[in-house]
C-alpha cells in the first residue's frame, strides 16, 4: 500500500547566508507568448541520464534566491544546505531550436469547466488563483502563492506587469446579496484582488554572465507573498514521490479560452492525467491546457500515514509541482517530442519554498 500513501521524507536544512542589495529592476522583461513555443528544447530523460549529479556547491548556488519587495527593493540571498543528498539532483540543459506553435490540447479536449458557485469557491478548486499577469497559481499558505517564475520574470528582468502585481481569489458575493436572488439568474463568484508585497525566485531561473544555462526550466517556480491573508483553505506543499509509477496528477487554473466563456461568470478549469515520462526535475505529460493555466499547482492525492495502518489514513492532496507550460523535449536519437511539462518539487526545492513561507528552517526538516 506504500504506493498509495504519503511517506515521511527527510528534507535538507536550508540556511540563509550572505545577502546583497541589488539595483532596482527596470521591468523590461518580455512576457512569453504562450501561443508560440519557447525558443529552446528541454534536455530529455535520455539526455539527462548522461549528466553528472549536481555537487553541493552548485546546488547551493542555484538555490540562492532573489527577493523583490513591493517598493522595488531587490535583494540576493546566498544559502547553505545541510544533510544534502546529491543523488536526487542532476544538472539541467537546454538546446536551442526555432519556436513552434503550441499544441497544448492532445486529441479530444479533456478539460472540465467548473462553473457551479459552490464548487468553484470550495476546496480544492478554491486554491486556484489568478495573477494580474494572466497566469494561474495555487495557495500554499494563507498568505503565499506558488506559481511559475516565468509568469513574473523572463530570466533577465521582471515583467512590466509585475510593477503592481496582484492575486485574485474567487469568492462568493456574500449574504447581503441573497435578497436579490429572485432578480438574478445566477449568483456568480467574483475575484477579490490582493496586492503582492514580496516575490521570491531561485537563482537557478535567473540569467547571469557566469552561468552556462541562462534559464533553467528545472527552476521555473516562484512564491508570492500577499498583503492580506486569504480566509480559505490552502493546499499543503509536498515532495514528488520517487515511485516507479507516479499517481495521476491534477491541476486547476484559468485557461483563457474556457474560464471567461459564457458571459461575466468566472470559471476554473480542472484537468487530470497520467505522467507520460519523468526525470529527476520534470514531469512530462499530456494534460490538456491552454494559455492562462501556466503556473497552476500540480497535485496528487494519497493517503496519510497513520501508524502501522497507514493505508487506512485519510486521503490528502498535496502540491508536488508547478505547471510550466509546453516544451519540445529531446528524446532518444535526437528526436523532438512535445509535452506539457511541470516542474517537480524535490526535497531541496521543498526546503527552499518552505523556508520562503515560514522563515524558520526548523519548520522544514520533514514532510
Is the CA virtual torsion 19, 25, 27, 32 positive or negative?
negative
User: pLDDT tens digits for 74-115?
Assistant: 999 999 999 776 544 444 433 333 333 344 666 677 899 988
Give CA separation, 21 vs 24, 68, 180, 204, 358, in Å. 9, 10, 53, 18, 22
**What integer pLDDT is reported at residue 307 of this predicted model?**
54
The 10 Å CB-count burial string (b at 16+, else e) for 66-98 is: bbbeeeeebeebbbbbeebeeeebbbbbbeeee
249, 275 contact by CB (below 8 A): yes
68, 158 contact by CB (below 8 A): yes
Quote the pTM value. 0.88
**What integer pLDDT is reported at residue 335 of this predicted model?**
74
User: pLDDT tens digits for 221-232?
Assistant: 999 999 999 999
Q: Is 178 helix (H, G, I), strand (E, B) or coil?
A: helix
**What integer pLDDT is reported at residue 139 of this predicted model?**
98
CA dist., res. 191 & res. 184, Å (int): 18
**What integer pLDDT is reported at residue 92 of this predicted model?**
42
**What integer pLDDT is reported at residue 12 of this predicted model?**
93
Label each residue of 26-66 as H, E or C: CCCECCCCCCECCCCEEECHHHHHCCCECCHHHHHHHHCEE
CA dist., res. 234 & res. 139, Å (int): 5
63, 81 contact by CB (below 8 A): yes
Length of the chain: 367
CA dist., res. 366 & res. 343, Å (int): 20
**What integer pLDDT is reported at residue 105 of this predicted model?**
63
Residue 122 backbone phi and psi in degrees, to 5: -125, 160
**What integer pLDDT is reported at residue 242 of this predicted model?**
76
**What integer pLDDT is reported at residue 49 of this predicted model?**
66
CA dist., res. 288 & res. 339, Å (int): 10
User: Which residues of the chain are under the pLDDT cut of 50?
Assistant: 1, 87-103, 176-180, 182, 212, 214-215, 262-263, 310
**What integer pLDDT is reported at residue 142 of this predicted model?**
96
Domains of the chain and CATH, by start: 2-29+36-363 (2.40.10.10)
CA dist., res. 207 & res. 245, Å (int): 34
Amino acid at each position: 500500500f506504500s504506493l498509495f500513501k504519503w511517506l515521511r521524507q527527510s528534507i535538507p536544512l536550508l540556511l540563509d547566508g550572505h545577502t546583497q542589495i541589488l539595483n532596482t529592476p527596470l521591468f523590461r522583461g518580455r512576457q512569453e507568448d504562450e501561443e508560440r513555443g519557447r525558443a529552446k528544447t528541454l534536455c530529455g530523460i535520455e539526455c539527462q541520464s548522461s549528466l553528472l549529479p549536481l555537487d553541493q556547491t552548485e546546488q547551493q548556488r542555484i538555490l540562492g534566491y532573489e527577493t523583490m519587495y513591493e517598493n522595488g527593493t531587490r535583494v540576493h540571498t546566498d544559502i547553505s544546505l545541510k544533510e544534502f543528498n546529491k543523488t536526487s539532483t542532476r544538472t539541467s540543459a537546454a538546446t536551442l531550436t526555432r519556436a513552434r506553435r503550441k499544441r497544448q490540447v492532445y486529441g479530444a479536449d479533456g478539460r472540465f469547466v467548473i462553473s457551479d458557485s459552490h464548487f468553484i469557491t470550495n476546496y480544492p478548486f478554491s486554491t486556484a488563483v489568478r495573477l494580474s499577469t494572466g497566469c494561474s497559481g495555487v495557495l500554499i499558505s494563507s498568505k503565499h502563492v506558488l506559481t511559475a517564475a516565468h509568469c513574473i520574470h523572463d530570466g533577465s528582468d521582471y515583467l512590466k506587469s509585475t510593477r503592481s502585481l496582484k492575486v485574485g481569489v474567487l469568492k462568493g458575493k456574500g449574504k447581503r446579496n441573497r435578497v436579490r436572488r429572485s432578480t438574478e439568474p445566477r449568483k456568480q463568484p467574483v475575484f477579490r484582488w490582493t496586492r503582492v508585497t514580496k516575490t521570491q525566485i531561485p537563482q537557478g531561473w535567473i540569467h547571469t554572465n557566469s552561468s552556462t544555462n541562462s534559464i533553467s526550466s528545472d527552476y521555473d517556480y516562484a512564491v508570492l507573498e500577499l498583503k492580506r491573508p486569504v480566509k480559505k483553505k490552502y493546499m499543503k506543499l509536498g515532495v514528488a514521490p520517487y515511485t516507479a509509477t507516479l499517481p495521476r496528477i491534477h491541476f486547476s487554473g484559468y485557461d483563457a479560452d474556457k474560464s471567461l466563456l459564457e458571459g461575466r461568470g468566472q470559471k476554473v478549469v480542472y484537468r487530470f492525467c497520467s505522467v507520460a515520462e519523468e526525470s529527476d526535475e520534470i514531469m512530462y505529460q499530456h494534460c490538456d491546457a491552454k494559455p492562462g493555466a501556466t503556473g497552476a499547482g500540480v497535485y496528487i492525492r494519497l493517503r496519510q500515514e497513520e501508524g502501522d495502518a497507514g493505508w487506512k489514513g485519510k486521503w490528502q492532496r498535496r502540491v508536488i509541482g508547478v505547471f510550466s507550460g509546453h516544451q519540445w523535449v529531446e528524446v532518444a536519437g535526437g528526436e523532438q517530442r512535445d509535452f506539457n511539462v511541470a516542474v517537480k518539487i524535490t526535497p531541496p526545492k521543498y526546503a527552499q519554498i518552505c523556508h520562503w513561507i515560514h522563515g524558520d528552517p526548523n519548520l522544514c526538516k520533514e514532510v
